[in-house]
Amino acid sequence: MKKVFSRPKSLKNAAFHYCPGCGHSIIHRLVAEVIDEMGLQENIIGVPPAGCAVLAYDYFDIDMGEAAHGRAAAVATGLKRVLPDRVIFTYQGDGDIAAIGTAETIHAASRGENVTTIFVNNGVYGMTGGQMAPTTILGQSTTTSPGGRKETRDGYPVKLSEMLAISDGTVYIERTAVSSPAHILKTKKAITKAFRYQVENKGFSLVEILSGCPTNWKMDPVESCKWINEVMTQHFPLGVIKDSGDKKDAR
């Protein structure tokens, strides 16, 4: 029998510190698999977030440079200015990208920065203990939206991916999930396309990935996947939000 599944080379041999069933672990592996398959390991620089994945550099065996909370898109812009022929990507959570980092993200996208963004959406601020995030859905209980998010008290969730699709600078926006093997394989395809568009110089691409946070959702991992599939996708529908990669010429 032949081995058909093993650990990607672009991941260091370190055990993840993430909680049991955390989507970050799955997404890290997918990104590493894509880096391996596309041969990017020597050519790629990643910018991790502030959040649970702040320690992403302990896992990815690639050059990585820390950014302050929310500023990854700006740091990525600076890297790309000096190294336009390297592949630059950011890996950010929902608070990092859609709360404190909103301006940097919208403007990097509007400038058509030729970078790739992996947006991990788990609807809470995980590392800090489960506070409300811009993508917390109405009715979802968090430590700063006790009793469930109420539009009158807490406002509405932010649909950043849809907002970014409006800009001419974005070439590809897709929302996927890691809540089932089928979704995971679709996520990997989306990540591959997002990196491919960068290599082809087509502009800003982003993959939003619905991901479980069992600890702060107060569910077990299997329930978390169910909640993503049945509830979260009602508010954050999966699918391609924008793909103009075939129309755009290389910039």
Partner 1 sequence: MAKVLMRGNHTVAEAAVRAGCRFYFGYPITPQNETPEYMADRLSKLEGASFTQAESEIAAINMVIGASMAGGRVMTTSSSPGISLKQEGISFLAALELPALIVNMSRGGPGLGNIAPAQSDYFQATRGGGHGDYRTIVLAPSSGQELADLTFDAFDLADKYRTPVLILGDGMLGQMMEPVEFRPDVQLKKLPPKDWTLTGAKGRPSRIIKSLILDPVQEEEHNWKLMRKYEKITKEETRWETFETDDARMIVVAFGTGARIAKGAIKRVREQGLKVGLVRPITLWPYPSRVIRDFSKKVKQFFVFEMNMGQMVEDVKLALEGNAEVHFYGRPGGIILTPLELARVISSRYYQKKLG
Partner 2 sequence: MASGSIEIDGESCKDCKLCISVCPHRLINSSDRMNQKGYYAVCFTEKELKKEERKCSGCGLCAIICPEIAIEVYRG
14 in contact with partner 2 (CB under 8 A) = no
Q: How far is the CB of 54 from partner 1 (least distance, A)?
A: 6
199 in contact with partner 1 (CB under 8 A) = no
Size of site (CB under 8 A) for partner 1 = 36
What's the chain's length in residues? 251
Report the Cα 218 to chain-centroid distance in Å.
Answer: 22
The CA-CA-CA angle for residues 177, 22, 176, to 5°, reads 10
Among 19, 54, 199, 219, binds partner 1 (CB under 8 A): 54
64 in contact with partner 1 (CB under 8 A) = yes
The backbone torsions φ and ψ at residue 131, rounded to the nearest 5 degrees and listed phi first, read -80, 170
Give which of partner 2, partner 1, none residue 209 binds (C-beta under 5 to 8 Å, depending on kind). Answer: none
| Cβ contact 105:132 at 8 Å | no
Task: Tell me the C-alpha distance between 142 and 155, whole Å.
Answer: 14
Among 6, 42, 85, 247, binds partner 2 (CB under 8 A): 6
- Interface map 206-225 toward partner 2 (x if CB under 8 A): --------x-----xxx--x
The backbone torsions φ and ψ at residue 10, rounded to the nearest 5 degrees and listed phi first, read -80, 5
Q: Classify strands 239-243 and 44-47 as parallel, antiparallel or unpaired.
A: unpaired
DSSP H or E run through 241: strand 239-243
Which of the 8 DSSP states describes residue 121?
A: E
Residues 168-197 touching partner 2, rule: CB under 8 A, are: 178, 180-181, 184-185
Q: Looking at beta carbons only, is 71 or 186 nearer to partner 1? A: 71
What's the Cα-to-Cα distance from 136 to each of 121, 146, 178, rounded to whole Å? 9, 12, 18
Q: Looking at beta carbons only, is 92 or 224 nearer to partner 1? A: 92
Binding site for partner 2 (CB under 8 A): 1-7, 11, 15-16, 18-26, 29, 178, 180-181, 184-185, 214, 220-222, 225
Binding site for partner 1 (CB under 8 A): 41-45, 47, 54-55, 57, 60-68, 71, 74-83, 86-87, 103-104, 106-107, 111
